[in-house]
Chain A
Amino acid sequence: MSDPVLSVRDLRVRIGDREIVRDVGFDVQREKTLGIVGESGSGKTMTALAATGLLDTPGAVVSGRSTLAGETELVGASPRLLRRVHGGRIGFVFQDPGTSLNPLLTLERQITESLETHRKMTRRQANARALELLEAVGLPDPQRRLDAYPHQLSGGQRQRVMIAIALACDPELLIADEPTTSLDVTTQSQIIELVRDLQRDFGTAVVWISHDLGVIGQVADDVTVLRDGEIVEQAPILEIFDEPKNAYTRELLRARPLVGRSEPAPASPDAPVLLRVDGLDVQFAVNTPVGKSTVHAVKQLSFEVRRGTTLGLVGESGSGKSTVAGTLTGLIQPTAGTARLDGVDVFGVRGAATKELRRRIGLVFQDPFSSLDPRVRVQTAIDEPLRVHGLAKGKRARQTRVAESLELVGLPASFASRYPHELSGGQRQRVSIARALAAEPELLILDEATASLDVSVQAHVLDLLAALQRELGLTYLFIGHDLAVIQQMSHQVLVMRDGEAVEYRTAAELFADPEHDYTRALLAAVPPARPRAAV
């Protein structure tokens, strides 16, 4: 029985007069992975950075103990000691591969830097080792890649390079802070596998931080659940999943969207078709410093949506799904194709009829922070469609309508006088929904509308949307990348890749027996309900 690689006790982080992290303690065992899970604001990143001496937020005060390999104390250590530890004994992988690599240095340089610093290698030796590392992380054509620059790689490839850099000096511990959050689900599962293999080969202990319990289930041996800077529960993985002791943990588990768990209320099978799209094709010119290039975002897409049902539009980034939403709302000009809303030509509409069409198709976006004008009160925001479409005459009538809209989405009428920054992310999304509904649309397009919300909040908003569909007979075009959420909300599903339709069937059929390889790959990549350790 050996010492834990990292042993943290009574860790506290204080900024100004606020305690961000309180009384946190955990152990990371050799060759094992500790999963730290929490929603936004839980302090998980702060905890990891504080425990490893990498925290540099101005004014932050760290106290407590964090011992590496039973002998090196990291909290309050000298900068010199920490520099030896960072990179040499602890490797780090951060969330955003786009900005975590220096755009002006070759990949080789970014790897050899640590080798030269910590292992005192010559440039030539470091070069050879860098090649080995790139091979080990599964980067195709590693020899040529040595001289490549970060912008020439995809997000997944960059993350592999980050892992190579982190493991370059064979550290005892790897800290991975939301390493797969910005990646597509298929890439995510590849990276999870990669880290697992490397952990086995190198014998590294790992701390994996994530908000996603599914991912944690795939990677962790032990789990620590954080909330508002405090530990809520700590247990081995199976215990957390099967016998959670704390109500919050149970809530997190319950709120997690899972494939095969829920379905929308059945819809009438002979509901009339509300929206019919035929041969939609969108190409745009993109300006780059070296000239114009064309992006073929949507290729010959056709689908229909029946009244009162939801069509789930699934795809990874770059699939063109948001472009489809853009064309239906008039924000993007299609290159070819037709779309008819109850017979009305969507793309060809002109003049006065345009406004009416815009009223009938509503839109809710993903980001709760920028979906509402920060300078405009909730009242005015919801008021806008009422004014624009003349749906309520007079100030009093509009105020009543606003209050009704708020009630409809489960918010108190008193919120009308608030500004967006006085609301939480979930509340803002509800206001966006209220705003979209105030116009009494027939079709509501939800473009990744819950993707930026915490899991528990997302569950509530999805419930709200389902309830509204039943009550008001709304038709949804639900765009997303999370298959479990899509299954929960959709009657029909259209899978897109690179602008094309890959599979288009009823949800029941698609999830029971996917036809296309890509769909199968997507489904296989979704972290399952049970943790890996249970299998």
Chain B
Amino acid sequence: MAVLTHPIIRFIARRLLYSLVVLLGVLIVVFALVHLVPGDPVRIALGTRYTPEAYNALRSASGLDRPIVEQFFGYIGSALTGDLGVSFRNGDPVTVTLLQRLPATVSLGVAGILIALVIALPAGIWSALREGRVSDAIVRITSQFGVSIPDFWLGILLIALFATTLGWLPTSGYRPLFGDPAGWLRHIVLPSLTVGLVAAAIMTRYVRSAVLEVASMGYVRTARSKGLPPRVVTFRHTVRNALIPVLTITGIQLATILGGVIVVEVVFAWPGLGRLVYNAVAARDYPVIQGAVLLIATLFLIINLVVDVLYAVVDPRIRLA
């Protein structure tokens, strides 16, 4: 029983509870999407394929003919069991479609965040340690550029340069990792660079400011006053303490990437969730839109929860409160 009162458990429990509350809110928003459409969503979705029979069939299959409250709980109930309805467009179960597309987006997201970290961590730290000097200015300006560039434009330019002109890499498409590793690699380079470079620019700035803030703390001065070698002061004291906020930022960034890959997936014809959402929006395929939004928001919450838990484990002020 004592385990339950352990600070980490209590911390996790609070965060979990909080996430569930937010998740409920997310469910309400997602559910409301289809009901806020001005006009009749079924009719709009059917468009030119409208016939009274198709209309009625689709309407009852989607449960839209039942009272709202019943629909809401029905929706939650089904969602919990993994049933997110069927596509308005082709009748496929939404959950299956989402799961099919998930790996592609996840690999793009993970590759992107890795590229971002590989660039942002060293650059941000280095720039912070050389604050005020030319190298700092260079990093700051470069990251400003990176933050200002539209990602789809970057993608198109990269394709134009490396794929079309130089022919080193394919212009679009996807190969599964386990089927064709070399192909997977070749196809993922450009899209993940597009995602990763922009994310790197954003993260560099956060890393830099986290390190600067830690560097001004009293304990860094204490470390210097002990005559410790500069490397120890930098890594054991400054950087290590800055990693905690960086961890939080990485989580947020990863989650943001998941939502932002939509455009990059369209540019590279990447068969992921983003492109699915795009097509669904164009076709007014509400169940798919709802399902994808719900999935991505849930992933977002899970990632943030994991980050918080890691944070609790790493920071003794929480672990041993």
In the complex they form, whether A and B have CB atoms below 8 Å apart is answered with: yes
Contact string against A for B residues 202-235, beta-carbon threshold 8 Å, 1 for contact and 0 otherwise: 0000000000000001110111111111101000
For the complex, is B14 an interface residue (Cβ under 8 Å from A)? yes
A118 within 8 A of B: yes
Interface residues of A in 181-203 (CB under 8 A from B): none
A113 and B11 contacting across the interface, CB-CB below 8 Å: no
Q: Are B217 and A87 in contact (CB under 8 A)?
A: no
Residues 291-319 of B at the A interface (beta carbon under 8 Å): 312, 314-318
Q: A151-B316, A290-B318 are in contact. Are A86 and B227 (CB under 8 A)?
A: yes
With a cutoff of 8 Å between Cβ atoms, the chain B residues found around residue A162 in the complex are 222
Q: Write out the residue numbers on chain B whose beta carbons fall within 8 Å of the beta carbon of A85.
A: 227
B224 touches A103 (CB 8 A): no
Which bucket holds chain A's interface residue count? 35 or more
Binds A, one of B66-74, B166-174, B236-244: B236-244
Give the residues in chain A near B221, CB-CB below 8 Å. Answer: 94, 100
| Set of chain B residues within 8 Å of A291, measured between Cβ atoms | 10-11, 14
Which A residues, 80 to 104, have Cβ-Cβ distances below 8 Å to chain B?
82-88, 91-92, 94, 96, 98-104
A58 at the interface (CB under 8 A from B): yes
**Residue contact A118 to B227, C-beta cutoff 8 Å:** yes
Residues in A whose Cβ lies below 8 Å from that of B224 = 54, 56, 86
- The reply to whether the CB of A347 lies closer than 8 angstroms to some CB of chain B is no
* One of A87, A289, A290 near B226 (C-beta < 8 A): A87
Enumerate A308-365 residues with CB–CB distance to B below 8 Å.
none
Residue of A99, A103, A117 near B317 (CB, 8 A) is: A103
Dominant SS among interface residues on chain B: helix
Q: Chain A residues near B223: list those with CB within 8 A.
A: 102, 113
Taking the complex as formed, is B320 at the interface, i.e. its CB lies under 8 A from any CB of chain A? yes
Does the CB pair A99–B218 fall under 8 Å?
Answer: yes
B226 touches A149 (CB 8 A): no
A290–B14 touching, CB < 8 Å: yes
B7 CB-CB contact with A under 8 Å: yes
Contact with B along A69-83 (1 / 0, CB 8 A): 000000000010011
Establish whether residues A105 and B321, one from each chain, have CB atoms under 8 Å apart when the complex forms: no
Whether B222 pairs with A92 at a CB distance below 8 angstroms is: yes
> Contacts of B228 on A, CB cut-off 8 Å?
83, 87, 113-114, 117
Q: Roughly how many angstroms separate A87 CA and B221 CA in the complex, as a whole number?
A: 12
Closest to B318 in A: A289
Cβ-based interface call for B132 (8 A)? yes
Q: Is the CB of B11 within 8 A of A100?
A: no
Whether, in the assembled complex, A152 has its beta carbon less than 8 Å from a beta carbon of chain B, the answer is yes
Task: Give the nearest-CB partner of A162 in chain B.
Answer: B222
Residues of A within 8 A of B227 (CB): 82-88, 114, 117-118
Q: Give bound CA distance, A319 to B240, whole Å.
A: 36
Whether A113 and B316, one on each chain, are in contact in the complex, defined by CB atoms closer than 8 angstroms, is: no
Docked pose: A1 CA to B150 CA in angstroms: 75
> Of the candidates B14, B132, B240, B315, which one forms a contact with A58 in the assembled complex, judged by CB atoms under 8 Å apart?
B132
A290's partner among B218, B241, B314, B321 (CB-CB below 8 A) is B321
Q: List 17 A-B contacts (CB under 8 A).
A: A54-B225, A83-B228, A83-B230, A85-B227, A86-B224, A88-B227, A99-B219, A103-B241, A104-B241, A104-B315, A113-B232, A117-B232, A149-B320, A151-B317, A165-B222, A291-B10, A291-B14
- Apart from A86-B227, A87-B227, A101-B222, 5 more pairs, CB < 8 Å: A94-B225, A102-B222, A289-B14, A289-B312, A290-B321
Query: Which residues of B approach A to under 8 Å, CB–CB?
Result: 7, 10-11, 14, 132, 217-219, 221-230, 232, 236-237, 240-241, 312, 314-318, 320-321
Question: Which A positions have Cβ atoms within 8 angstroms of B?
Answer: 54, 56, 58, 79, 82-88, 91-92, 94, 96, 98-105, 113-114, 117-118, 149, 151-152, 162, 165, 288-291
Closest A-B pairs by Cβ, 3 of them: A86-B227, A99-B218, A87-B227
